[in-house]
Amino acid sequence: MPTRVVLKNLTRQHGTPLFVVDHDVLRRNYAEFKRYLPRVQAYYAVKANPAPEIVRTFYEAGASFDVASIGEFRLVYENIKDLPAKERQDYIWDKIIYANPIKDRATLEELDRYKPLVTYDNLAEIGKVRKHAPHAGLALRIRVPNTGSMVELSSKFGCAPGEAADLIAAAFDAGLVVEGLCFHVGSQCTNFDNFVQALNMSAQVLEEAAGRGCKLELLDIGGGFPAPYDGSVSRFRELARVLNAEFSRLFPKDLEILAEPGRFLVATAATLVAEVIGKADRDGKRCYYLNDGIYHTFSGVLFDHCQYHIKAFKKGSTQLCAVFGPTCDALDTICQSEPLPELNLGDLVYSEHIGAYSHASSTWFNGFPPAKVVHINR
């Protein structure tokens, strides 16, 4: 992260709240992913942080993209529009996956001319794709264990593995092409056994489909790669070691493997700086109020089940404090027990590792604007 001196200088220039994105960290995270999973092509999950500057940095680093809405698709398209038309089409065909199993008709009709890879997990979607995007390639999403992941996804998406071969055959029978299989172990997955079970389930499905004459060419292992929010999270290389061993054991060398890292690539690349705008003692506890909160950069506390720590620039003995956002809603509670020194109105605080699923969900609720964003390259 930028040094405290750099953060303070930036706030003098831009004010607060300020969301600072360090693109050197983005590039380091991408390089780490590629170093330890050399067989896997990384498709950045744009929803984690859709800032165009971030998309452009990953594009220049060689990343592909996972989009889950037509808006995200257009965002990526705008950042590759400098390519000649033929190369742009090839890029979309090979470097973008529309990884939302449920798509509306208008989206499919807009996507069709690009011949993209899209996911599905049910019969109704097959009929919809056949009618509105017959040139798309398909990847079937199966339901896999999400045990222990911070954000569970298996209750909303994924077919039962026992239904997979039938859904693959149904898509081929409809005149579509199923290119591969995909899954998601849940966001911030620190239980590596989820990946092991998912890969073994995928191998069984691929084998069954091949036995029915439907040979698939790719496997998308989704996201869930844990960001190192603190020392309790195992190092990425430990997960990579597990994954690489399973790849070698379960799959032929010509199977294309891709993944959709989002949080892992951007979480540690951003820092929020906020200002203390209020101070009170309630029921024996010190309470501080910031000019950023749950409806803004700290939205991940609510939507992402993530607890960000608040740190002070000043030093001193600490006490457990409650920290609130600026809106007139009691839901706007950032934390109830953060150790902080004695702070005064106008003092600055900061929160690290807040790059994923945070500013992306900011609103203008109660008339308070989102934090200003500054991108730096050191």
Neighbouring-strand partners of residue 159: 142
The CA–CA distances, whole Å, from 242 to 15, 64, 196, 239, 328 equal 45, 23, 8, 5, 47
Neighbouring-strand partners of residue 104: none
DSSP assignment of 152-208, as one string? --TTTS-B-HHHHHHHHHHHHHTT-EEEEEE----BS---THHHHHHHHHHHHHHHH
**Distance of alpha carbon 258 from the chain centroid:** 15
What ranges make up the beta strands (E) of the chain?
18-22, 40-45, 64-67, 96-98, 117-120, 137-141, 177-182, 218-220, 256-259, 270-282, 285-290, 311-312, 319-324, 333-340, 348-351, 372-376
Residue with structure tokens 């409809």? 174
Neighbouring-strand partners of residue 212: none
Question: 215: burial class by Cβ within 10 Å (0-12, 13-18, 19+)?
Answer: exposed
Residue with structure tokens 């009929």? 127
Q: Kindly report the backbone phi and psi dihedral angles of residue 182, in degrees, each rounded to the nearest multiple of 5, phi listed first.
A: -145, 160
Distance in angstroms (rounded) separating the CA atoms of residues 373 and 50: 12
> Which tokens go with 183?
């899954």
Return the half-sphere exposure (C-beta side, CA atoms, 13 A cut-off) of residue 156.
Answer: 9
- Is 328 noted as a catalytic residue in this protein? yes
| Closest of 298, 317, 268, 308 to residue 358, by C-alpha | 298
Options 182, 287, 328, 335, the catalytic residue: 328
| Active-site residue set | 328
